[in-house]
Chains A and B, each alone.
Chain A
C-alpha cells in the first residue's frame, strides 16, 4: 500500500483541506419499546472542494441516513446522532436549528430521488426556485424571477421563462429532476448532496442528468456527494468511492483503483452484478446472494459474513478493523485480489 500516498492528486481538482469531514458518524434509531437499530455505525469520510465522492451500497446500508444526518433532516424523534461532520470549520451536528437552516439551501444543498414527489404539486416551478433565493440571498420575488429563468436554462430546461409558471405535473420526469437541481444550485452551494438522483428516471434520461451534474460540478467547483446503489453511476462520475455495508464503510478507493482491483468481497459482488457489454457471452451474472436481513452484528462479527463467498473463521467471531487510511482501505479478514 505504499503507492497510495500520491493518490489524492489523481482524484481530481481538490486542495488538501477537506470541505466536509465526517468522523465516526453514528445514527441509532430507537422506537418506543423496540430494540435500537444502528442505521449508521461509525462512518468517516472526507469531501474536498471540487471533488465528487460516492457513497455506494444497497438499500438499507445507511447511505441515505448518512446524508440526512449531515443535512439535519432526520425526523425530530426516535433517533440519536453521534460523531462529527465538520463543514468549513463548524460541526454541522451541533449547530443550532436556525444556524443549520441558514446553511441548508445556501452552503449545502440536496437533490432527492423521486423528482415528482419531491416537488410541491401546488406551487409553480418558478416559485419553488425563487423561494430559495428569497430566503438566502434576501432577494425580492421580482428580482429572483429572472435569475430563476437563468437557472432553469443552465440546467437544460428549454423555454425556461414559460416553465416558471408551470406546475410539477406539467413537466416530464427528466425536466422535474432538472428543476430540482436548479433549486439546489440556486444559491451556488459549496457542497451538493445527491441522493439517488437518477434512480426514478428512464435510462436515457439518467445519462443526461448525470452528464449535467458532472458539467455543473466541473463548472462551479462544487463538491458533490453522490449517493447511489448503482456502481455504473459511480464509474462515470466519482473521484472517490465509499462502499457501505450495514452502516459501515467496508471499502474506499479512487474509482480507477476500486474498479480495477476491488478488495472487499462485497465490492466484488457489486461489480459482478453489473451486466457488462465486454463480458464473454454466456458468462453468468453473479448477484450477491441473500439480503441485508441476514446481517450479523458488527460488534462480534463481519456483518457481511453470512452472504460472503470468501468468509473464513474469524469473520463470524471478531469485528474486522479498517485496513488503510483516509484515502484507500477496506475492512475484511480475507480480502480478494492482491494489493493495489
Chain B
C-alpha cells in the first residue's frame, strides 16, 4: 500500500508540431467507427442536414463553383480588354470609378473590375482543386505505401513527413515556389500541393493503421483475400471520411496560400488573366486613392475560404465520434 505505483496513464508526450499531428491523427482515428464507409457518411449527412453552419458553407461553395463555371459567359466585359482606358489618369485619377455598364468601375489599366472578379474565380477554383488533388495523390501514394508495407519503409516515410509538417506550411510553399525558374500558375499549384502532401500522407497512414487491426480487415485477411485487394477494397474506402474532411479544409488553405503567393509575386506573372491574390497585391499601390480595389478581391477570397472552412469544420464535427454527445 505504501508503494508508489506509476502505472497510470501513458505520459502525455509533447513536442512542437505534436498538436498538428494529433489533430491529423484524431481525424484518422475517426475512420474506424462502428459504422464504416458509406453508412458513416449517410449518418453524418443526417446530422449535417440540420446544421446551419454546414448549410451556409455548402451554399457558398455551390454558388462559387457555379459562378466559376459560367463566369466567361456571364461576365459583361472581356477581361483582357481595357474599355475604361481613356478614363485612367495616372496622376489625378489612376483608377476609374463606377459608371453605367461598369458596376464596380475599372482597375488601373481601365479593365472592368466586376468582370475580372467574376472570371478570377476560375483561377482560384483551378488552383484550389488541383493543389488539393495533387496533394491528395502524393499523400495517398506515400501514406498507402507506408501504412500498407509498415516496417522501415513506414519509419522512413513518416520521419520525412513529420519533418515537413514541422516547417510552417506557408514558408515551405514560398520556398518551393521560389525555386521555379519561370513562375506560372502550375508552379504555384505544385508549391501548394507539396505542402499538403505530408498532411494527407499522415492522415491516410493513420487511417490505414487503424484499419489494419479492425475486424472487417482481419476477417478479409483470414479469408485469404490478397493484401493489395484488402488495401484498395477494404482499407481505402473506409478512410474516405477523414480524407473528405481534410480535402475540404485543404481547399480553403490552398486558396488563401495561393493568394499569399500571388501577393508576394510568386504566382503567375501574366497579368492579363485575372487572379484574386494578384489583384489584391497590385491594389497595394492605390491604398489611399482606391482601397476598394483591394476590398473586392479580398472579400471574394474570404467568402470562398470561409465557405470551405465552415463546410470542413462541420464535416469534421459530424465525423468525430467524440463530438457526437
Contact = CB atoms under 8 A, between A and B. Distances in A.
Contacts of B1: 158, 172, 174-175, 205, 208
A159 B2 contact: yes
Interface string B1-34: 1111110110000000000000000000000000
Task: Assign chain B's interface to a size class.
Answer: under 10
A205 B5 CA distance: 14
A171 to B, nearest CB: 7
Nearest to A173: B5
Contacts of A171: 4-5
A172 B3 contact: yes
A29 to B, nearest CB: 14
Interface string A152-181: 000000110000001001111111000000
A187 interface: no
Main secondary structure of the interface of B (DSSP, over half): loop
A13 to B, nearest CB: 30
A174 B5 CA distance: 11
B50 to A, nearest CB: 10
Q: How large is the interface on A (under 10, 10 to 19, 20 to 34, 35 or more residues)?
A: 10 to 19
Contacts of A116: 8
B5 A172 contact: yes
A169 B1 CA distance: 14
Contact of A158 (B2, B5, B8): B2
Contacts of A175: 1
Contacts of B6: 169-170
A173 B3 CA distance: 10
B8 A169 contact: yes
Contacts of A173: 5
Contacts of A166: 4
A166 B5 CA distance: 12
A205 B2 CA distance: 12
A206 to B, nearest CB: 13
Contacts of B8: 116, 169
A122 B97 CA distance: 62
A170 B4 contact: yes
Contacts of A208: 1
B87 to A, nearest CB: 58
A172 B6 CA distance: 8
B272 to A, nearest CB: 55
B196 to A, nearest CB: 37
Contacts of B2: 158-159
Interface string A74-111: 00000000000000000000000000000000000000
A158 B8 CA distance: 21
Interface string A108-138: 0000000010000000000000000000000
Contacts of B4: 166, 170-172
Interface in A168-224: 169-175, 205, 208
B49 to A, nearest CB: 15
Interface of B: 1-6, 8-9
21 contacts: A116-B8, A158-B1, A158-B2, A159-B2, A166-B4, A169-B6, A169-B8, A169-B9, A170-B4, A170-B6, A171-B4, A171-B5, A172-B1, A172-B3, A172-B4, A172-B5, A173-B5, A174-B1, A175-B1, A205-B1, A208-B1
Given A158-B1, A174-B1, 12 more contacts: A159-B2, A169-B6, A169-B9, A170-B4, A170-B6, A171-B5, A172-B1, A172-B3, A172-B4, A173-B5, A175-B1, A208-B1
3 A-B pairs closest in CB distance: A172-B5, A158-B2, A170-B4
